[in-house]
Chain A
Amino acid sequence: MTQRILSGFFAALIVLALAFALPRHGNQAAAVVGDNIVTGAGAGVFPAGASFNSIELAGGTFGIGAQISSTGSADGTLEVQFTGTSLIGLSQWITINGWITSGTSNPDGSVTLNGTSTLDMGDGTPPTGGLPLVVNAGPSGITLTVGGTTLPTLPKSDGWVINE
């Protein structure tokens, strides 16, 4: 009878030990975030003739921070601001804010990031949100596809896009 009672206690102890051990293990696994880190900050100058929504583009700046996991899901953000001139000659700043949700590393060292974005044309109209976003970023520059429209590639002349 005593053996039965003891075995019951031991079984309960084992279950209790597992209950404490499993969450700790899980939290340690959560620290392993992903396989790729994409960081960037810089600027570039568009070649002559680059335009978007009738705005003649001159140059732009960018800031990127994204972490891609081995499953292809990603977390991070991207901000790009293009400077340009409107049809009536006014200076205009176009701002794209992206919320990154997936990504892949490409064989050429660049990355493709996907998510949704907000487009602010900088002309006083309210920003448009919820636009699908595709970003191709690499050492040579950044190409954005916002809401299905591919913008001219911003060649990187200053700063970095680092995929590690």
Chain B
Amino acid sequence: MRDNRITRRVPRSRALCSLAAVATMCIAAAASAGVVQGRVTPGFEAPASSQLSANTIGLATGGGTVTVTAVPQNILASFGINAKRPAGFVQNGTGTAQGRINYDKHGQVTAGRHVNVPVMFMTVELSGTPSPNGTGGRAQLIGDCTQANVECPSNTPAFQSVLVYVEDNSDTGNNDKFQIQFCTDPASVSINQTTCSLAEGGPIRTGQIQIRPSPSGGSGMAPTHVAAPRLQP
């Protein structure tokens, strides 16, 4: 009697084990396919709520111009930005990044026209509704003014860091945003923004910002940009 019960239980247990193994293999295969396709699962990378995160893996690139409000007349400035997570990046809240911030005011300004700093930290938010090219989101890049061979505007006390905020709202650059501030606080992922100057820039005039979760592998179709503004600086 007892033996019969055992023999009835054992096949049931074996069947359950087999089902569990098949299910987990299916899950593993699906997850691996995502890795092969370079897919970034929001659950792993992005916070549940929409916010800039020091742990989100992403990369930011951009180039273009912005109008800087000035007296007696506004100034045209060019920018070029790059930021990515370093190899072996650990999602521990430090937000380490590498890249560069270039910013060049073209007006008749005698001092503080140039910014050329390495990016040390970054926070990223990936768009929940990316463009067909897989881009969209916003990022904050923190550059270091204290390293060798860098350029930052002079100030007393000295600026120690550069804070750049960018938004990627479209593939055409329409409604994208670039803002730059200079801070007396040292570069860190949690920079004290009360130590920063007023933001320069805003909606970009020409060019575009691209924020994406991972390298696209060279894909993507360049959309036709809107006509550049006719305003002259």
A residues at B contact (CB < 8 Å): 1, 4-5, 8-9, 11-12, 15-16, 18-19, 22-34, 37-43, 61-67, 69, 71-79, 81, 91, 93, 95, 97-99, 101-102, 115-118, 120, 122, 126-130, 158-160, 162, 164
B87 & A8 in contact (Cβ 8 Å cutoff): no
Report the separation of the CA atoms of residues A107 and B219 in the bound assembly, to the nearest whole angstrom: 26
B78 & A61 in contact (Cβ 8 Å cutoff): yes
Interface size for chain B: under 10, 10 to 19, 20 to 34, or 35 or more residues?
A: 35 or more
Chain A interface, DSSP helix/strand/loop, else mixed? strand
> What number of A-B contacts does a CB cutoff of 8 Å give?
246
Within 8 A of A (CB), among B1-60: 6, 10, 13-14, 17-18, 20-21, 24-25, 27-28, 31-32, 34-36, 38, 40-41, 44-45, 57, 59-60
Query: Which 7 A-B pairs give the minimum distances between C-beta atoms?
Result: A129-B224, A26-B35, A99-B222, A73-B218, A79-B207, A63-B63, A19-B28
B232 & A27 in contact (Cβ 8 Å cutoff): no
Instruction: Verify if B80 is at the interface (C-beta below 8 Å from A).
Output: yes
In the complex, what residues of A have CB within 8 A of residue B222's CB?
97-99, 115-118, 129-130
Q: Which residue of B lies closest to A74 (CB)?
A: B218
Closest Cβ of chain B: how far from A5's Cβ, in Å?
5
Instruction: Verify if B208 is at the interface (C-beta below 8 Å from A).
Output: yes
Report the separation of the CA atoms of residues A147 and B98 in the bound assembly, to the nearest whole angstrom: 33
If A5-B10, A159-B104 touch, does A37 touch B82 (CB 8 Å cutoff)? yes
B residues at A contact (CB < 8 Å): 6, 10, 13-14, 17-18, 20-21, 24-25, 27-28, 31-32, 34-36, 38, 40-41, 44-45, 57, 59-65, 76, 78-82, 84-89, 98-104, 106, 114, 116, 173, 206-210, 212-228, 230, 232
Report the separation of the CA atoms of residues A27 and B40 in the bound assembly, to the nearest whole angstrom: 7
Q: Which residue of B lies closest to A59 (CB)?
A: B106
Q: Which residue of B lies closest to A102 (CB)?
A: B218
Other than the given A79-B78, A118-B223, 10 more pairs (CB < 8 A) read A5-B10, A8-B13, A15-B24, A22-B31, A39-B99, A75-B216, A93-B228, A97-B206, A120-B228, A127-B224
